[in-house]
Amino acid sequence: MSEPIAAVVARAADLTARGLPHQAVALLRPALAANPLHAEGWCQLAAAHLDADEPDPALDAAKRALVLDGDHAWAQRLTSLALTELGRHTEALVAARECVRRRPDDWRCRVVLAEALAADAAGLPDAAREAREATRLAPTEARAYQVLGDAALRLGDWGAAERAYRTALRLDPDAADVRANLATVRRRRGGAPVTAPPADLLGAARALVWPALSRLAALLVTGCLVLTLAALPRPTPLLGWFAAALVAACLAVVARLLLGARGGVRRALLGLPRHRPRVAVVVVAFGLALVVLSGWSVALLLGAGTTQPLVLALLCALLGGAVVVLGGGR
């Protein structure tokens, strides 16, 4: 009489945990051939293949588990990990989000989602947030703190990275990769400042700044055009209040952008114009438009009746808006 499939899966899990994934695969293959509807067995096979650095068969096994009745969150998690290993990051992110949707309180799903988000520099802030949620759900799991430290390291948030890595080492003192990353954080924290932010930080900052610049372009171009038409044939002091409201709305967009960024991303945002010429042109053009609008607003309230500054503000807004539209966030 053959061994029950549940016992085989348990033995395979033990082999994988002991660092013998190939033996686990050899054990599971014939058992699953005889019991092809055992979802947990397919998940365990996928996990063994992942530990053996075999993402292709791992993905096949995880997909088999997805069509069976079983722990679909586990299957989605394994699917995301295999897709990440294969470089298919968009699909990995979809699988990771589905895993979290099914098990929002499972820290392992949050970790997988954080890793999938971190594949793109623009997703690093969200990756750090998901990893932080994983540490909240599982405060005794070193892996959750390691992923949080990795995201914070790439964001340039040295303080958060060091705290996360130190906690991970306290929970798992034998984690050599965590110890190496902690040493890297301490070197960067205590070393001389770099002349340019890392590429990851610049990418994350650019992904945040371009939508804000698009909103500013819409506000300034539309607002200046409406004010120009309303100022004919002669502006009234009431238009000064509208101009002031337009300036306040633009400053609110800028404030929201800066307050929404964290750590190294905020520093990269402030330094982005020095490293991205298109951003510099837009910032200068919109800055001039806001300064001119502010001065014109005050002048109107004091009794002036000129529209020339408003025309200059409109031209600056059009220049910055054209760069935003033509640049397309690239």
pLDDT single digits (tens) 254-286? 888 888 766 666 677 777 777 778 888 888 999
Domain 1-103 has CATH 1.25.40.10: yes
Q: Is the peptide bond before 233 cis (omega within 30 degrees of 0)?
A: yes
Q: Where do the structural domains in the chain lie, given as residue ranges?
A: 1-103, 199-327
Tell me which amino acid residue 46 is.
Answer: A
Regions of the chain with pLDDT less than 50: 1, 192-196, 330
Q: Residues 221, 318: contact at Cβ < 8 Å?
A: yes
pLDDT digits (tens, 9 = 90+) for 238-257: 888 888 999 999 999 888 88
Burial environment of residue 172 by CB neighbours within 10 A (0 to 12, 13 to 18, 19 or more): middle
pTM for the model: 0.59
Among candidates 224, 206, 240, which has minimal Cα distance to 316?
A: 224
Q: Do 181 and 189 touch, CB atoms closer than 8 A?
A: no
For residue range 136-162, list pLDDT tens digits in order. 999 999 999 999 999 988 888 888 888
Q: Which amino acid is at 198?
A: P
